[in-house]
Amino acid sequence: MFASLRLGAVLFFTFISQASAQGSLTNVTVDDASPSVRYLNGWSPGPSLYIQLDTSKLFNGTWHDTTHYTQDITTKEMHVNFTGVAVYLYAVIANQPSGKPFDAFADYKFLLDDVVVGEYRHEVEDTTDFFYNVPIYVNTTLPDKEHRFSVLIDSTEKPVLMLFDYLVYTTTQ
Ligand SMILES: *[C@@H]1O[C@H](CO)[C@@H](O)[C@H](O)[C@H]1NC(C)=O
Ligand SMILES: *[C@@H]1O[C@H](CO)[C@@H](O)[C@H](O)[C@H]1NC(C)=O
Ligand SMILES: *[C@@H]1O[C@H](CO)[C@@H](O)[C@H](O)[C@H]1NC(C)=O
Ligand SMILES: *[C@@H]1O[C@H](CO)[C@@H](O)[C@H](O)[C@H]1NC(C)=O
Protein backbone atom coordinates (compact mmCIF):
# COMPACT_ATOMS: atom_id res chain seq x y z
CA MET A 1 0.00 0.00 0.00
CA PHE A 2 2.83 2.42 0.91
CA ALA A 3 4.52 1.40 -2.31
CA SER A 4 1.54 2.34 -4.39
CA LEU A 5 1.09 5.63 -2.52
CA ARG A 6 4.72 6.43 -3.18
CA LEU A 7 4.32 5.50 -6.84
CA GLY A 8 1.25 7.70 -6.99
CA ALA A 9 3.22 10.59 -5.47
CA VAL A 10 6.08 10.08 -7.92
CA LEU A 11 3.68 10.05 -10.87
CA PHE A 12 1.93 13.12 -9.51
CA PHE A 13 5.15 15.11 -9.17
CA THR A 14 6.36 13.91 -12.56
CA PHE A 15 3.14 15.22 -14.04
CA ILE A 16 3.53 18.60 -12.27
CA SER A 17 7.15 19.05 -13.35
CA GLN A 18 6.41 18.16 -16.97
CA ALA A 19 3.57 20.63 -16.98
CA SER A 20 5.79 23.40 -15.63
CA ALA A 21 8.77 22.52 -17.86
CA GLN A 22 6.54 23.15 -20.88
CA GLY A 23 5.31 26.33 -19.22
CA SER A 24 2.07 27.39 -20.68
CA LEU A 25 2.53 27.66 -24.41
CA THR A 26 0.37 30.31 -25.97
CA ASN A 27 -0.11 31.12 -29.63
CA VAL A 28 -0.25 34.75 -30.69
CA THR A 29 -1.56 35.62 -34.14
CA VAL A 30 -0.16 38.64 -35.98
CA ASP A 31 -2.47 39.73 -38.78
CA ASP A 32 -1.03 41.26 -41.96
CA ALA A 33 -2.79 44.49 -40.96
CA SER A 34 -1.07 44.63 -37.56
CA PRO A 35 1.22 47.60 -36.96
CA SER A 36 3.90 45.18 -35.74
CA VAL A 37 4.54 44.03 -39.33
CA ARG A 38 7.05 46.25 -41.12
CA TYR A 39 6.82 46.21 -44.93
CA LEU A 40 9.61 47.54 -47.16
CA ASN A 41 9.76 48.53 -50.83
CA GLY A 42 6.22 48.26 -52.15
CA TRP A 43 3.49 46.21 -50.50
CA SER A 44 -0.17 47.10 -50.42
CA PRO A 45 -3.24 45.87 -48.61
CA GLY A 46 -5.47 43.77 -50.90
CA PRO A 47 -7.51 43.76 -53.04
CA SER A 48 -5.51 44.78 -56.10
CA LEU A 49 -6.60 45.20 -59.70
CA TYR A 50 -6.35 41.50 -60.60
CA ILE A 51 -6.40 39.76 -57.26
CA GLN A 52 -9.60 39.51 -55.29
CA LEU A 53 -9.51 36.84 -52.62
CA ASP A 54 -12.32 35.17 -50.69
CA THR A 55 -12.06 37.22 -47.51
CA SER A 56 -14.02 34.61 -45.53
CA LYS A 57 -11.02 32.29 -45.94
CA LEU A 58 -8.50 34.84 -44.65
CA PHE A 59 -7.53 35.61 -41.09
CA ASN A 60 -9.63 38.67 -40.15
CA GLY A 61 -10.47 39.15 -43.84
CA THR A 62 -7.30 40.97 -44.88
CA TRP A 63 -4.04 40.38 -46.77
CA HIS A 64 -1.01 42.30 -48.06
CA ASP A 65 0.41 41.74 -51.48
CA THR A 66 3.50 42.54 -53.45
CA THR A 67 5.04 41.59 -56.77
CA HIS A 68 8.78 41.56 -57.23
CA TYR A 69 9.98 41.96 -60.81
CA THR A 70 13.35 40.62 -61.93
CA GLN A 71 14.61 44.08 -62.85
CA ASP A 72 13.65 45.60 -59.47
CA ILE A 73 16.65 47.11 -57.72
CA THR A 74 15.23 46.80 -54.22
CA THR A 75 14.31 43.61 -52.40
CA LYS A 76 10.73 43.23 -51.15
CA GLU A 77 10.90 42.65 -47.40
CA MET A 78 8.69 42.13 -44.40
CA HIS A 79 9.83 41.95 -40.79
CA VAL A 80 8.21 40.93 -37.52
CA ASN A 81 9.91 40.85 -34.13
CA PHE A 82 8.58 38.47 -31.51
CA THR A 83 9.68 36.60 -28.40
CA GLY A 84 8.90 32.91 -28.56
CA VAL A 85 9.82 29.31 -29.32
CA ALA A 86 7.97 28.69 -32.60
CA VAL A 87 6.83 30.60 -35.66
CA TYR A 88 4.34 29.72 -38.41
CA LEU A 89 3.88 31.89 -41.50
CA TYR A 90 0.68 31.61 -43.53
CA ALA A 91 0.17 32.88 -47.06
CA VAL A 92 -2.23 32.48 -49.94
CA ILE A 93 -0.66 30.74 -52.92
CA ALA A 94 -1.90 31.81 -56.33
CA ASN A 95 -2.02 29.95 -59.63
CA GLN A 96 -2.50 31.33 -63.11
CA PRO A 97 -1.65 28.86 -65.86
CA SER A 98 -1.18 31.41 -68.62
CA GLY A 99 0.80 33.85 -66.48
CA LYS A 100 -1.91 36.39 -67.38
CA PRO A 101 -3.24 38.69 -66.17
CA PHE A 102 -0.79 38.43 -63.27
CA ASP A 103 2.35 36.57 -62.31
CA ALA A 104 1.87 33.93 -59.61
CA PHE A 105 5.25 32.26 -59.11
CA ALA A 106 6.28 31.98 -55.44
CA ASP A 107 9.89 32.17 -54.25
CA TYR A 108 10.42 33.53 -50.76
CA LYS A 109 13.44 33.44 -48.47
CA PHE A 110 13.05 33.32 -44.68
CA LEU A 111 15.49 34.74 -42.17
CA LEU A 112 15.67 34.43 -38.42
CA ASP A 113 17.90 36.91 -36.66
CA ASP A 114 19.30 37.91 -40.07
CA VAL A 115 20.36 34.37 -41.05
CA VAL A 116 18.69 32.57 -43.98
CA VAL A 117 16.85 29.53 -42.56
CA GLY A 118 14.57 28.50 -45.40
CA GLU A 119 12.99 29.09 -48.76
CA TYR A 120 9.54 28.40 -50.20
CA ARG A 121 8.98 27.94 -53.93
CA HIS A 122 5.80 27.17 -55.83
CA GLU A 123 5.42 26.89 -59.58
CA VAL A 124 1.96 27.79 -60.88
CA GLU A 125 -0.37 24.85 -61.29
CA ASP A 126 -2.94 24.22 -63.99
CA THR A 127 -5.80 25.92 -62.15
CA THR A 128 -6.87 29.44 -61.30
CA ASP A 129 -7.62 28.42 -57.69
CA PHE A 130 -6.02 30.16 -54.76
CA PHE A 131 -4.70 27.94 -51.97
CA TYR A 132 -5.54 29.47 -48.57
CA ASN A 133 -3.85 29.04 -45.18
CA VAL A 134 -0.66 27.55 -46.62
CA PRO A 135 2.04 27.28 -43.92
CA ILE A 136 4.97 28.48 -46.02
CA TYR A 137 7.46 28.53 -43.15
CA VAL A 138 7.34 26.66 -39.82
CA ASN A 139 10.02 26.55 -37.13
CA THR A 140 9.22 24.91 -33.80
CA THR A 141 12.77 24.72 -32.43
CA LEU A 142 13.58 28.32 -31.60
CA PRO A 143 15.49 29.29 -28.47
CA ASP A 144 13.18 31.21 -26.12
CA LYS A 145 14.28 34.77 -26.77
CA GLU A 146 13.49 37.75 -28.95
CA HIS A 147 13.72 36.99 -32.67
CA ARG A 148 13.71 39.09 -35.79
CA PHE A 149 11.80 37.20 -38.49
CA SER A 150 12.12 38.39 -42.09
CA VAL A 151 10.81 37.45 -45.50
CA LEU A 152 12.92 38.54 -48.49
CA ILE A 153 11.86 38.42 -52.13
CA ASP A 154 14.71 39.03 -54.55
CA SER A 155 14.33 36.50 -57.39
CA THR A 156 16.13 37.32 -60.62
CA GLU A 157 14.57 34.25 -62.28
CA LYS A 158 11.00 35.47 -62.84
CA PRO A 159 8.43 37.76 -61.22
CA VAL A 160 7.29 36.68 -57.76
CA LEU A 161 3.92 37.30 -56.13
CA MET A 162 3.35 37.16 -52.40
CA LEU A 163 -0.04 37.26 -50.67
CA PHE A 164 0.65 37.43 -46.93
CA ASP A 165 -2.22 36.57 -44.60
CA TYR A 166 -0.90 36.09 -41.02
CA LEU A 167 1.86 34.83 -38.77
CA VAL A 168 1.54 32.81 -35.56
CA TYR A 169 4.20 32.60 -32.87
CA THR A 170 4.27 30.56 -29.69
CA THR A 171 5.28 32.12 -26.40
CA THR A 172 6.07 30.51 -23.04
CA GLN A 173 4.51 33.41 -21.12
C1 LIG B 1 0.04 26.95 -32.36
O2 LIG B 1 -0.43 26.92 -33.70
C3 LIG B 1 0.13 25.87 -34.46
C4 LIG B 1 -0.40 25.95 -35.89
O5 LIG B 1 -0.90 27.17 -36.23
C6 LIG B 1 -0.25 24.52 -33.87
O7 LIG B 1 0.35 23.48 -34.61
C8 LIG B 1 0.26 24.48 -32.43
O9 LIG B 1 -0.18 23.28 -31.81
C10 LIG B 1 -0.29 25.65 -31.66
N11 LIG B 1 0.30 25.67 -30.31
C12 LIG B 1 -0.41 25.96 -29.23
C13 LIG B 1 0.35 26.01 -27.94
O14 LIG B 1 -1.62 26.17 -29.26
C1 LIG C 1 13.31 44.38 -34.80
O2 LIG C 1 14.50 44.37 -34.04
C3 LIG C 1 15.62 44.93 -34.73
C4 LIG C 1 16.83 44.74 -33.84
O5 LIG C 1 17.08 43.36 -33.71
C6 LIG C 1 15.37 46.39 -35.06
O7 LIG C 1 16.46 46.91 -35.77
C8 LIG C 1 14.10 46.49 -35.89
O9 LIG C 1 13.79 47.84 -36.10
C10 LIG C 1 12.94 45.80 -35.21
N11 LIG C 1 11.84 45.73 -36.15
C12 LIG C 1 10.60 45.96 -35.83
C13 LIG C 1 9.58 45.75 -36.90
O14 LIG C 1 10.27 46.30 -34.72
C1 LIG D 1 -9.62 42.67 -37.24
O2 LIG D 1 -9.96 43.82 -37.99
C3 LIG D 1 -10.60 44.84 -37.25
C4 LIG D 1 -10.93 45.97 -38.21
O5 LIG D 1 -11.64 45.48 -39.31
C6 LIG D 1 -9.70 45.33 -36.15
O7 LIG D 1 -10.36 46.31 -35.37
C8 LIG D 1 -9.28 44.16 -35.27
O9 LIG D 1 -8.33 44.61 -34.33
C10 LIG D 1 -8.67 43.07 -36.11
N11 LIG D 1 -8.41 41.90 -35.27
C12 LIG D 1 -7.24 41.26 -35.29
C13 LIG D 1 -7.14 40.09 -34.38
O14 LIG D 1 -6.30 41.59 -36.00
C1 LIG E 1 14.84 27.23 -36.80
O2 LIG E 1 15.56 28.31 -36.28
C3 LIG E 1 16.84 27.96 -35.81
C4 LIG E 1 17.41 29.20 -35.14
O5 LIG E 1 17.40 30.31 -35.98
C6 LIG E 1 17.66 27.47 -36.99
O7 LIG E 1 18.95 27.08 -36.54
C8 LIG E 1 16.98 26.26 -37.62
O9 LIG E 1 17.67 25.87 -38.79
C10 LIG E 1 15.57 26.64 -37.99
N11 LIG E 1 14.83 25.46 -38.46
C12 LIG E 1 14.11 25.48 -39.57
C13 LIG E 1 13.32 24.23 -39.85
O14 LIG E 1 14.04 26.44 -40.31
Angle ∠(79,106,152) on CA atoms, nearest 5: 25
Phi, psi at 60, each rounded to 5°: 55, 20
Least confident range from 3-7, 128-132, 167-171: namely: 3-7
pLDDT of 20 > 70? The answer is no
Q: What distance in angstroms lies between residue 140's CA and the mean position of ligand 1's atoms? A: 10
Q: Measuring CA to CA, how many Å separate 145 from each of 37, 85, 135?
A: 18, 8, 22
The beta-carbon contacts of 55-63 under 8 Å, at least 24 apart in sequence, are: 57/132, 57/133, 58/92, 58/132, 58/165, 59/29, 59/31, 59/32, 59/90, 59/165, 59/166, 60/31, 60/33, 60/166, 62/31, 62/32, 62/33, 62/165, 63/32, 63/92, 63/163, 63/164, 63/165
The whole-number pLDDT of residue 77 equals 98
Per residue in 82-120, pLDDT (tens digit) is: 999 999 999 999 998 777 789 999 999 999 999 999 999
At residue 100, the pLDDT reads 79
Span from the CA of 27 to the centroid of ligand 1 (angstroms): 6
Q: How confident is the model at residue 28 (pLDDT cuts 50, 70, 90)?
A: very high
Q: 105 and 67 in contact (C-beta within 8 Å)?
A: no
Q: What mean pLDDT value characterizes the chain?
A: 89
Q: Categorize the per-residue pLDDT at 22 as very low, low, confident or very high, splitting at 50, 70 and 90.
A: low
> Atom 3 of ligand 3 has which residue's CA nearest to it?
60
Residue with more model confidence, 14 or 74: 74
Predicted confidence at residue 9, as pLDDT, reads 46
Q: Domains in the chain, ordered, with CATH? A: 23-171 (2.60.120.260)
The pLDDT value given to residue 96: 86
Region 122-127 average pLDDT: 94
Q: Using CA atoms, how far apart are residues 68 and 47, in angstroms rounded to an integer? A: 17
Q: Mutate which of 27, 144, 172 to test ligand 1's pocket (most atoms within 8 Å of Cβ)?
A: 27
Ligand 1 atom 1: the closest Cα is on which residue?
27
Model confidence at 48, pLDDT cuts 50, 70, 90, reads confident
Report, as an integer, the average pLDDT of 110-137: 97
Q: How confident is the model at residue 157 (pLDDT cuts 50, 70, 90)?
A: very high
